[in-house]
Structure 1
Amino acid sequence: MKLLKTMPTRYPEILLKKHNSGKSDWWEVVQPVRVRCSLNDYGRFMIPAGYVSDFASVPQLFFWLIPPHGRTANACVVHDYLYEHKPVKATRREVDLFWRELLKQCNVPAWQVWIMYGYVRAFGWVNWKN
């Protein structure tokens, strides 16, 4: 059973494994990920191996409406990293718009994109300031 906890799960572009923090919703990036991003002068930034994300911070009660992983996984890992480490000189609004575009590229249904985007715009300032 321990082997299953460390076995990587592959989402379309980011190799992840369950993080051994004791929390069921934390995942760790296994290999560094290069992300194309028009928000900085270099046109990209790197998410290092070992970075930990909870994907979308959705209360379990609403998983049926907005799954915290699956199609949204890649975009949410990128968004979490941008909020925490701010590797680009961009406003929170610009980062959120970039995330919204990533969600669309991951084929997340438009209605889910708008719910997630609206939630982040309304409450994301709390995490942005930390």
Structure 2
Amino acid sequence: MHRVVVKPFGKDRFEVVKEFEVSLCGLNFIVPKGFISDGASVPRIFWSIYPPYKSEYFSASIAHDYLCQKAYSKDDYKLADKVLKEAMSELGCSKVKTFIFYHACNTFHVVKCFLKGLK
């Protein structure tokens, strides 16, 4: 997996400056130039352990954010979470870190979909 190219955008966000091609989980998509992301959406209390901008998983976070922004159903969020998991593995993240990120995102999305009534 290639690394995403970004530049700072405002206080805590980044803008993709070069199209970012992703091929994971049988899915091929392009994160377009100009896409804005906050990196990994880690609660601030955990930033000392898992900083949101860490290059180790930043590209996976951008791909995940893009898919979540396009999600309209539980299945869309499940796929986005699977892409995050596979991307983190391909980027060489530890199995423990990948497990934590995947399950944190998946749990958040299950609750979000329940509260919004998404099917």
Range of TM-score over shorter length: 0.7 to 0.9
Q: Count residues in correspondence.
A: 109
Residue 49 in structure 1 maps to residue 43 in structure 2: no
- AA aligned to 2:31 is I
Structure 1 residue 91 displacement after superposition: 3.4
**Consecutive unaligned residues in structure 2, runs of 5 or more:** none
- Matches of 1:68 and 1:36, distance apart in 2: 23
Aligned to 2:14: 27
- Matches of 1:15 and 1:27, distance apart in 2: 9
Bigger Cα Rg: 1
Structure 1 residue 39 displacement after superposition: 4.0
- Matches of 1:93 and 1:19, distance apart in 2: 28
- AA aligned to 1:106 is L
TM-score by length of 1: 0.73
- AA aligned to 1:67 is P
Q: What whole-Å deviation, never above 9, does each CA across 1:33-71 have from its counterpart, x for those lacking one? A: 11113444xxx2111110001111112221122221221
Question: Which consecutive segments of 4 or more residues in structure 1 shift more than 6 A?
Answer: none
Aligned to 1:101: 86
Cα RMSD for the two superposed structures: 2.1
**Consecutive unaligned residues in structure 1, runs of 5 or more:** 1-11
**Structure with higher helix content:** 2
Aligned to 1:16: 6
Q: Which has the higher contact order (CA 8 A, sep 6+)?
A: 2
The answer (yes or no) to whether the contact 2:15–2:37 under 8 Å persists in 1 is yes
